[in-house]
Amino acid sequence: DAGVIQSPRHEVTEMGQEVTLRCKPISGHDYLFWYRQTMMRGLELLIYFNNNVPIDDSGMPEDRFSAKMPNASFSTLKIQPSEPRDSAVYFCASSPSWAGRAFFGQGTRLTVV
C-alpha cells in the first residue's frame, strides 16, 4: 500500500492567492483528518470526515479555509485568500475505523509570502 499521499509536498504562494492541498487516503479507510503543524500551536486538528461526510470542522481557523471530500479516495483543503500566517505544514491522515491509529501523509509545507 502506498500510504496516504499528499500533494504538493511544498507550496510557495503569494499572499492573497488561492491554495489547494490534496490528499489521497489509504483505500478502505473510513476516516480522514486534516491537521496543521506550527511551532506555536503544534499539531492541531482542522477538520475530519467519516465516510466522506464532514463531522467536526471546529478547528478550521477562519472562513478562508474550506475542505471537501467528494469521494472516498480524494480530499482537498483550500485556503482562499491565503495569508502569511497560514504558513505551516499541513498533514492529511486516514484511519480504518477509529482515530487512534491514524496513518499520516508526508505533509505539505506551505509558505505564504
Which residues of the shown chain bind another protein in the complex (CB under 8 A)? 4, 31, 33, 35, 41-45, 48, 50, 55-56, 91, 93, 95, 98-107
Q: How far is the CB of 16 from another protein (least distance, A)?
A: 28
Q: Greatest CA separation found in the chain?
A: 38
Cβ-based nearer residue to another protein, 41 or 85: 41
Beta strands at 42-50 and 103-104: parallel, antiparallel or unpaired: unpaired
Q: Which is nearer to another protein, 37 or 81 (CB)?
A: 37
Residue 80 Cβ vs another protein, minimum distance, rounded to whole Å: 25
In terms of CB distance, is 19 or 47 closer to another protein?
Answer: 47
CB of 74 to another protein, least distance (A): 18
Of 13 and 106, CB closest to another protein: 106
Question: Phi and psi at residue 10, in whole multiples of 5°?
Answer: -135, 140
* Residue 85 backbone dihedrals phi, psi, to 5 degrees: -70, -5
Dihedral sign (CA 65, 102, 32, 9): positive
**Residue owning grid cell 474550506:** 66
Residue matched to cell numbers 489509504: 26
